[in-house]
Chains A and B, each alone.
Chain A
C-alpha cells in the first residue's frame, strides 16, 4: 500500500469504527433512557392504582362502620324505646296494681310497633324481596318507595332475564341503584330519574341518569364520596367498568357494565 493509500485507508477504518460505535452507542443509550422513563411511568401508575385500591378499601370499611352505627341507632332509638314503654305497661299488670283502661290495647299496639320496627330494620339490612321475588321486583319496590316519599319520577326500563343473575350480582345491582338514587334524593334535587338495565353480548349494562343539580366531576377527582367509591368497589368485584359523567346544572349520569354471571343453581 502506498503512503497516500495508507492514510486514506486509516481514516476510512477509523471513521468506520467511530460511525458504528456512535450508532450502536446512541441506540443503546436512547433505548435505556426510554426504558427508564417507561419504568418510572409504570411505577407511578402502580402507585396510583394502589392508592385507589386503598381508598376503596377505606371507604368500604367506613361505610360498613356507618351502616353498623345506623343499625345500632335504629335498634336503640326505635326498638329500645318501644321495649322501655312496654316494660312500664307490663308493670301495671302486677298483682295489686291498678290497670288503666285500654292498657292491654296499648301494650298490644307497642308489640305491633316493635314487630314492624324489627321488620323494617331487617329489611334495610337485607332486601328480602330480592331473594323471594327477584331483582326486578325488588327494584320496582324500591322505586315505589321513592315515589311515595318524594316527588321524583322514576322511569325504569328493565331487561329480560335479570332474575337469572347470580344472587351476588343481583344484590350488587340493587345496592348500586340504591346508592345512586339515595345520592340523588340527598343532593341532586332531581325531578326525574331514568334507569335502564339491559343485557348485550353476555354483558349487563346499567345506565342511570337524573336531571338534578349535577356536580363538577373535575373538581371531584380524587375526592369522591363514600357512596361513589362503594359503587366502584362493587363494580370491581363484578369485573366490570364504571364511569360517572356530570356537569353543574346538567344532571348526573352513570354507566356500568360487567360480564353476565348466571345463577348456576337454577
Chain B
C-alpha cells in the first residue's frame, strides 16, 4: 500500500508544476519581469517533463534532456536572481556566472561525464550557486527591512522554495551515480524523496504567486 502511494506520488507529483504555471499564466500581464521569469522557469520544467516522459515511453534514454535542461534552468533562474538582486550584487558577478557555468556544464557533458548518464557535477555546482543566490536574497531582504524598506513577501516564498529544493537536492545530485547502484526499492525511495522536495518547491512558488495576485 505504502509502496503504491510512493509510486503514485513519484509518478504524478512532478505534474504539480501545472498549478503554479496556470496561476502564472492567468496573471502574467500583471507580473514584474522577475515573476515572468518564474513563469518561463515553470514552462521549461513542463516542457522538459513532457519530453522526458515521451522518451521514457519510447524506451529511449532521456538523460541527455537533463543535461540541456540543467543549463537552461540555470540561465533562467540566474536571470530571476539577477532581477531581484539588482543593486545588491554586482552585475559583473552575474555576467561571470552566466558565462562560466554553462561552459563548465557543456564541457562536463562532452568531456567529463557521459551525456547518457546523470550530470552529477553540473547539477551539484548549479545547486550550490543557486543556494548561494537564494541566501543572498534573504540577506538583502533583511538589510532592506532594517532600513525601513517594505518587504516583498511573494518573492520570499519563491526564493524560499528554490532554496528548499536546491538545498534538499544537493546531496541527491552529488551522489546520483552511486544512487543508481542501489536496489530498486531504495532507489525509488530516494527518487520519491527528491520528488517530495520538488513538490515542496512548487507549493512555495504557488504560494508566492498567489500572494502576489492578492496584493
Interface residues, chain A, CB within 8 Å of chain B? 1, 6-7, 9-10, 13-14, 16-18, 20-21, 23-25, 27-29, 31-32, 35-36, 38-39, 42
- Measured CB to CB, the closest approach of chain B to A21, in angstroms, equals 4
Using a Cβ–Cβ cut-off of 8 Å, how many residues does chain B contribute to the interface with A? 32
Chain A to chain B contacts (Cβ below 8 Å), 19 pairs: A1-B182, A6-B181, A6-B183, A7-B186, A9-B182, A10-B189, A13-B175, A14-B189, A17-B169, A20-B168, A20-B170, A21-B167, A21-B200, A25-B200, A28-B160, A31-B160, A35-B141, A36-B153, A39-B151
Interface residues, chain B, CB within 8 Å of chain A? 138, 141, 145, 150-151, 153, 156-157, 160-161, 163-164, 167-172, 175, 178-179, 181-183, 186, 189-190, 193-194, 197, 200, 204
In the complex, chain B residues whose CB is within 8 Å of the CB of A36? 153
Q: How long is the Cα–Cα vector from A38 to B150 in the complex, in angstroms?
A: 10
Q: How long is the Cα–Cα vector from A39 to B152 in the complex, in angstroms?
A: 10
In the complex, chain B residues whose CB is within 8 Å of the CB of A35? 141, 145, 151, 153, 156
A38 x B168 contact (CB < 8 A): no
B186 x A10 contact (CB < 8 A): yes
B157 x A32 contact (CB < 8 A): yes
A20 x B153 contact (CB < 8 A): no
In the complex, chain B residues whose CB is within 8 Å of the CB of A23? 167
- Measured CB to CB, the closest approach of chain B to A130, in angstroms, equals 39
In the complex, chain B residues whose CB is within 8 Å of the CB of A31? 138, 141, 156, 160
B190 x A13 contact (CB < 8 A): yes
Chain B residue at smallest Cβ distance from A23: B167
**Given A32-B153, A35-B141, A38-B145, are A1 and B181 neighbors across the interface (CB < 8 Å)?**
yes
In the complex, chain B residues whose CB is within 8 Å of the CB of A18? 193
B167 x A14 contact (CB < 8 A): no
A25 x B164 contact (CB < 8 A): yes
- Measured CB to CB, the closest approach of chain A to B175, in angstroms, equals 6
Chain A residue at smallest Cβ distance from B153: A35
Q: How long is the Cα–Cα vector from A24 to B169 in the complex, in angstroms?
A: 11
